[in-house]
Structure 1
Amino acid sequence: MLQPVEIDPRRFCRESRSWEARSDVSAFPRLAHEFTQGELSCRVAGRSDARGGLSLQLTVRGEVELTCQRCLNGMRHEVDIDRVVHLARNESELERLDALPGSDAILVGETLDLVGLLEDEVLLSLPLAAMHAEGECPV
């Protein structure tokens, strides 16, 4: 089981640190409940810009198996996440960053759990109801 990876998000970004993991989905505490099998490759890279803005580049790739809601058999689902998440220090900065076109932002405190953040991103990328395409369910 992957343990939480707690970081100081400001320091992580200012120092351009990165963290990587490749693991079976059963090692992720919350993802193990959603998928029957699969493996994910994850990378988080911290960034800071000239104006002091902080962000994380999140990359998650892999293939997992979901349960089809039509036939209740397994179905393969490709996970391909590549996004930048801006880090806001307070509510007003969060509102400003969220208002930018195509921008994702989160409010961060003194620590941030990278495993939890990646699990959130994977869960948000899932279809509302996983189903094979019409006529593709095994008989």
Structure 2
Amino acid sequence: MKTPPKSAWNPDRLDARAFAQAQGHLTLDTPLSRLPRLRDEADGDAPSLGSVHWETDAEMRPGATGAAPSPWLHLTARASLPLTCQRCLGPVDTPLEVDRWFRFVADEATAEAQDDDAEEDLLALEPRPSLYEVLEDELLMALPLVPLHGTCPVDLVHKAGDPGVADDDPPQRKNPFAALEQLKK
């Protein structure tokens, strides 16, 4: 089967079965501003967000024990997202990478029923998936828990009470055994 031209595949509502049967391939550069949940994670002081370079390939694979072949989708993506460094609170460019395989099943109910036993990630054929939403979900899961610079570009100001900051005049505490000392005399 000949792969239709790139414009024939709609990433917003992909016919995954036809895409897999045609051994479809898409290569796209999508502005990060088009992915609203990911955009919300970006540092507000960053000058620009850039884009995500991503590719997807699809194929039909034989089903288990004589079952009909299933559509599979391979998604790879690379992006750099400016996040807020949790040490200095400045922007830190954070590389994000995705390399995932998905198997398609008939519907959401089937995906939910098979999800616990399946090693691969499952997506439903109906309703037709948005590859942009799948891409955004995967990039969100690739975010680090605590974004940090390797070495922060600014000197950090330590405040009293921070670990590693010595107080010049430690407060004088009353000895709790002083009263016992008085009784002993």
CA–CA distance in 1 between the matches of 2:130 and 2:28? Answer: 14
Cα separation, 1, equivalents of 2:39 and 2:111: 34
Q: Please identify runs of 4+ aligned residues in structure 1 that moved more than 4 A.
A: 92-95
> Which structure would you say has the larger RCO, counting Cα contacts within 8 Å and 6 or more residues apart?
1
Q: 1:30 to 1:119 in 2, by over 3 A?
A: same
Structure 1 residues not aligned, in runs of 5+: none
- Alignment deviations for residues 82-122 of structure 1 (CA, whole Å, 9 cap, x no partner): 11011122444654465244x22223313111111101110
Q: Give the direction of change, closer, same or farther, for the CA distance of 1:68–1:120 in structure 2 (3 Å limit).
A: same
Equivalent of 1:67 in 84, 108, 133: 84
User: What is the match of residue 53 of structure 2?
Assistant: 41
Pick the structure with greater CA Rg. 2
Matched, 1:115 2:132: yes
TM-score, normalised to structure 1, is: 0.80
Indicate the residue corresponding to 2:117 in structure 1: 99
* CA distance in structure 1 between the partners assigned to 2:40 and 2:77 by the alignment: 18
More deviation, 103-112/120-129: 103-112
Percent of aligned positions with the same letter in both sequences? Answer: 27
Greater Cα offset, 11-20 or 112-121: 11-20
8 Å CA contact 1:88, 1:94 repeated in 2: no
SS in 1 for 2:36: coil
Q: Match of 1:84, SS?
A: strand
If each structure's strand is expressed as a fraction of its own residues, which one has the higher value?
1
In the TM superposition, what whole-angstrom CA distance separates every residue of 1:21-67 from its partner, at most 9, and x where no partner exists? 11331233332222242331011222111331211100101222111
Q: How many residues align?
A: 134
Tell me the TM-score normalised to structure 2 length.
0.62
Structure 2 unaligned residues grouped into runs of 5+ = 1-9, 64-68, 156-185
